[in-house]
Structure 1
Amino acid sequence: MAEVTYRSPGSLTFKNGDFILDQKPLRILSGTMHYFRVVPEYWEDRLLKMKACGLNTVETYVAWNKHEEYPGQFNFDGILDVRKFVQVAKKVGLYVIFRPGPYICAEWDFGGLPSWLLTDEKMKVRSNYQPYQDAVDRFFTKLLPLVTDLQYSKGGPIIAVQVENEFGSYSDEVEHLSFVKELLEKNGIQELLLTSENIFGLKRAAFYQHALPTANFPEMGDGQKLFDMIREWSPDFPLMVMEFWPGWFDHWGQGHKGLAMPLFENCLTGILDAGGSFNMYMFHGGTNFGFMAGANFFANSTYKPDITSYDYDAPLSEAGDITPKFLRAREIIFEKVLKPLGVTKLPDLPSNTPKASYVRNEVRCSSPIPMELLKIHGDYGQNYGYTLYRTTMPAGKCLQFSSLPQDRAQIFINGAFVHVIDWRNPGLEIDIVCTQDTNTLEILVENHGRVNYVEFGLNLLNEQRKGLSGDVSVDGKKLESWSIVPLEFDNDFVNNVSRCDKWVSTLPSSYSSPALFKATLTISDTPKDTFLCTKGWGKGIVFLNGFNLGRFWCVGPQQTLYVPAPLLKQGDNQILIFEQEAPGISIEFLDAPILNENDQQNVEDADKEYPTGS
């Protein structure tokens, strides 16, 4: 038995394996919802549905890379108004578990870390490397004062705050956890501190002297081992599953994942029968809007970028709909926890947001360095999107790269498509047929999402700069004099394109180069949630009234993009599609998602490993 274990200084404490709040035992029944994956107009709806399921707590991460797009340039407005989100949770009557990172994983680009950190070529993220510490210090100094008065001890709903995230899966430099803990406390955090780890990380980064250890798992086999380990450290520690995974996320080109209902029931029942508290990650997944979907990299596989939908097979769907999994969770929670406490009735189930099908039959056509090191935005480079590399080249038979493009490169010679290089189709040498003396070479490289999770011992997080790096040659002759064009699809660019009067109405049937397409959706009544169907299209991104809905790709499993009603308006709604490969001839708006349909000619084998954390 350890001689020294953590004691909570906050309002939420624990004793003999129970949480204690206001001198009464508390079973934490929590669900995860990320404010930055849900439009603000729907926050209260989703939180009320959590309450109706019997939950008493909501948990959220904080996305540093969205709040500080460039050093010292902070944004906490609209979908990023984390303070308002916590206040809405209090209004609904939910406690809050606050997980500010700075690293969050979350299938979010770079695990929530800003890509401008990689401007420093010696950067060591998630470590006590001083420039990284300085950046975290600046962010926490801005973020935490926004919520310190919302702690439970000050009349707010925040009852616990997490120190970093699944750190033992990445590193055993426990000193970094001490740095994060001290930074939290320096900036006014007074409530219970906790860590969360999966089966691989709990011992490797033991921090139980300074924070309550909690467990992450999808089934009770691993769960019981983690529970036993936590109880070994102290019989006072409550059993808390910080991430009970009721589903899973999807990678482009693979099958639609989830967790079957019997496995979900067994795990939830097992946690409650063991006397444990839980947080369902995710209870409501939401959407990886814009360019924010991340990627995974496992030692026994390859780079795997995540799809735009973060439906997660969660109890609340991507569009916030009540699912059979929600109803079964509600029954189990009521019977096993609430009914024995004397609760006779749960809140009535709120209605799902109305859906509509908007159908429109036509779309009228109208030396390389990584994006992070481009000398733009005050020398902090390009964060997201595409980068176009252009140069001239002589006749030749073989195009050669000194290092693989990151992450997906479409190669064009004299405007004609030649080849794609990506994690599914890697290669440093490409056979070409190029007989003219002077030719134009264009390489469009897509940042498909920075890795947010790597296994212990893989030093990948600091090395994932996107675009081209190193030499490109033809028959051994190095190509020089490159023109590099960042295609960030930022607000100004999208607005200017929308107003452009150079659109054309027809396109050759054989056209296969990247292009922008424009259409109008006219709605005569009050807008409702809908799903933009991308079947018949190749690969690209969609903007609706200037809002980036995210990526689509015909390889699936996702074939629709979720459109929350608040993004629509009565009257005309403008749609912009950046299609990289094969334009379609029509788009449809459906009243249900398609998240499990693959192009069988392109589908990859499903992951052999069960992923280990979020």
Structure 2
Amino acid sequence: MSTFAIGDRDFLLDGRPHRIISGAMHYFRIHPGDWADRIRKARLMGLNTIETYVAWNAHEPVEGQWSEEDGLDLGRFLDLIAAEGLHAIVRPGPYICAEWHNGGLPTWLTATPGIRLRQTDAAYQAALETYLRRVYRIVAPRQIDRGGNVVLVQIENEYGAYGSDKDYLAELVRVTRDAGITVPLTTVDQPEPDMLEAGSLPGIHLTGSFGSRAGERLATLRQHQPTGPLMCSEFWDGWFDWWGSTHHTTDAGAAAAELDDLLAAGASVNIYMFHGGTNFGTTNGANDKGRYLPIVTSYDYDAPLDEAGDPTAKFHAFREVIAKYADVPDDVPPSATPRPEFSVALTPRRTSDAGVQRSLPGRVTFEDAAHTGTLLRYDVALPDGFPGGVLAIGEVRDQAWVSVDGIRIGSLSRTRHEHALRLPRGSALSILVEEQGRVNYAERLGEVKGLIGPVTVDGRDLAGWRTTPVLLEDASAAPELSVAEGAFDLETATDLYLDTTGWGKGYVFVGDFLLGRYWSNGPQQTLYVPAPVTRAGRNTLTVVELEQPLAETARFVPRPLLGPLEE
């Protein structure tokens, strides 16, 4: 058994000063078949610790249906970290931000009528206590003082940027301690005086989140915490991308210099991200600071280890800096090699009525329909002899395609603040709505999705709406979707990059694994296919297209195409 504690100036491992040199990896953004590889490479860069968030909505997308299977096996992930000789930091939220949909909070929770998120509220606190106790059943026996490797647990996440409810934070601490967590507890906030004050609690160790000006940031942190080790628990070494923007990168040399400044000051660090991974499926979040901007499928983050787990220039630059302050293994991961390049013929899938979900009466939201997917179709009859008119919608969340008598006549985009379009004559109106990603911070957390507010034609309400949840798995049964499929053979399981250049907007499966979204809006042009998703022999590919005619060919390319760089 070992001990881990907060000393006057240092973390104390078995009573001796210890510096944490950590990197962030989110197990839910990495295929579990790749966990051990990524963890080993973290050690080879010189890290002694790995940090992860826990995404509540990944484990419990439907209330009461908790899962720890496959890619959600947090216990196995922590055990693999321990097997590599590394410590672990766990950040269970319950709010995590992380550019992850809804900031990690389940939609069934945030849709609870009258609920007040991230503050003292009976309904919210009852649910989060159940959640935290489930997480801590996994974490508690793996703490360092019980023979495991978990050394720190974080309370909430950058709470000072959101609220200042000390009773709420104290309740999180109570639940955490009562559930058997004995290692030191931390909070994290940007080193702004008001945020540090609002997000802190006596007896809980303060840490900072920043990516530059280490001396200044650490001084501010020290002003609010006169004793104890200094730590940047989110050292931002890159950034994320959103659809319609550029691919964001940071200079490896400049980032390494900032890391050097931080370590030279004697501080501990958690690099965010060491390996970003992928927003597989439909798990991406979104920004909204006056304009809704959904985040792309890749979470490469310009991190030291890229989306496919290959070391980058930043990996080697960081490794060189870390070697000045700690022992670094002699082994170095191999450089990236080109992935297989080939083409696959695609053929339209025959339309099927199997698996069609029953429609619901009325015009309801995703939440009202208890639909955890990303597509809803709204149907209504137009007045007899309808000659045409103007369709107006209060708000589209987030993208709508409008059809009259089965012919698509236009689209409305939340990002472009579009609310109305002109309809031709016809008898039936159909509106397909895509939820493009849930905002992951601030007051838009938990907002409902679908057609919001009034929906009128020439100022008049329409009666008799029906709402149908559309499942991607049954896309061939949905008349507004185009589905193509193909097959390819591999000699062995391997990483791949699928080039979506020239396609419109949609989703891709390899086998039954949903890689994620693609969109001609860019910047991302390739979807990463993890090797464990493939197999030697025959593999299948399914493309679900929302906007354009189906492509006849899918191309796999040797390297990722994440888009043009910001200037």
Under a length normalisation based on structure 2, what TM-score does the superposition of the two structures give?
0.93
Corresponding residue for residue 125 of structure 1: 117
2:22 aligned with 1:30: yes
User: For 1:553 and 1:596, how far apart are their aligned partners in 2?
Assistant: 12
Residue 292 of structure 1 aligns with an amino acid whose one-letter code is: T
User: For 1:233 and 1:424, how far apart are their aligned partners in 2?
Assistant: 40
Q: Secondary structure at the match of 1:185?
A: helix
Alignment of 1:74-85 (within 5 A): 74-85=66-77
Corresponding residue for residue 232 of structure 2: 241
Counterpart among 34, 38, 58 of residue 66 in structure 1: 58
User: For 2:522 and 2:460, how far apart are their aligned partners in 1?
Assistant: 39
Corresponding residue for residue 448 of structure 1: 436
Counterpart among 194, 207, 229 of residue 200 in structure 2: 207
Corresponding residue for residue 260 of structure 1: 251
How far has the Cα of 1:118 moved from its partner?
3.2
How far has the Cα of 1:274 moved from its partner?
1.2
Counterpart among 537, 551, 563 of residue 596 in structure 1: 563
User: For 1:361 and 1:47, how far apart are their aligned partners in 2?
Assistant: 33
User: For 1:413 and 1:321, how far apart are their aligned partners in 2?
Assistant: 48
User: What CA deviation, in whole Å up to 9, does each residue of 1:320-345 have, x standing for no partner?
Assistant: 0010100000001102x02xxxx4x5
Counterpart among 281, 285, 289 of residue 290 in structure 1: 281
**Distance verdict in 2 for CA 1:442–1:481, change over 3 Å:** same
Identity level (%): 36
Corresponding residue for residue 427 of structure 1: 418
Residue 579 of structure 1 aligns with an amino acid whose one-letter code is: E
How far has the Cα of 1:264 moved from its partner?
0.4
User: For 2:336 and 2:127, how far apart are their aligned partners in 1?
Assistant: 40
User: What CA deviation, in whole Å up to 9, does each residue of 1:190-244 have, x standing for no partner?
Assistant: 1010001114563342424131110101111xx4443223212333221100100
Residue 585 of structure 1 aligns with an amino acid whose one-letter code is: E
Residue 172 of structure 2 aligns with an amino acid whose one-letter code is: V
User: For 2:512 and 2:341, how far apart are their aligned partners in 1?
Assistant: 19
Counterpart among 477, 481, 484 of residue 460 in structure 2: 477
Counterpart among 450, 465, 468 of residue 467 in structure 1: 450
Note the aligned Cα RMSD (angstroms).
Answer: 2.1
Say if 2:293 and 2:415, in contact at 8 Å, map to a contact too.
Answer: no
How far has the Cα of 1:354 moved from its partner?
6.1
Say if 2:101 and 2:439, in contact at 8 Å, map to a contact too.
Answer: yes
Alignment of 1:90-129 (within 5 A): 90-129=82-121
**Distance verdict in 2 for CA 1:597–1:21, change over 3 Å:** same
2:303 aligned with 1:303: no
Say if 2:239 and 2:302, in contact at 8 Å, map to a contact too.
Answer: yes
User: For 1:42 and 1:240, how far apart are their aligned partners in 2?
Assistant: 29
User: For 1:311 and 1:402, how far apart are their aligned partners in 2?
Assistant: 36
Say if 1:541 and 1:551, in contact at 8 Å, map to a contact too.
Answer: yes
Moved over 6 A (4+): none
Residue 65 of structure 1 aligns with an amino acid whose one-letter code is: N
User: What CA deviation, in whole Å up to 9, does each residue of 1:152-179 have, x standing for no partner?
Assistant: 0001000000001011111122222111
How far has the Cα of 1:548 moved from its partner?
0.6
**Paired residue total:** 550
User: What CA deviation, in whole Å up to 9, does each residue of 1:513-563 have, x standing for no partner?
Assistant: 53111111222x112111111111100000110111000001111001100
Say if 2:344 and 2:487, in contact at 8 Å, map to a contact too.
Answer: no
Say if 1:208 and 1:233, in contact at 8 Å, map to a contact too.
Answer: no
User: For 1:486 and 1:597, how far apart are their aligned partners in 2?
Assistant: 36
2:533 aligned with 1:542: no
Counterpart among 499, 520, 528 of residue 487 in structure 2: 520
How far has the Cα of 1:15 moved from its partner?
2.7
User: For 1:11 and 1:489, how far apart are their aligned partners in 2?
Assistant: 49
Say if 2:344 and 2:486, in contact at 8 Å, map to a contact too.
Answer: no
Counterpart among 530, 533, 556 of residue 567 in structure 1: 533
Residue 179 of structure 2 aligns with an amino acid whose one-letter code is: N
User: What CA deviation, in whole Å up to 9, does each residue of 1:223-282 have, x standing for no partner?
Assistant: 444322321233322110010011000000100012122330221111012111110111
How far has the Cα of 1:398 moved from its partner?
3.5
Say which is worse superposed, 473-482 or 77-86, in terms of deviation.
Answer: 473-482
**Distance verdict in 2 for CA 1:537–1:297, change over 3 Å:** same
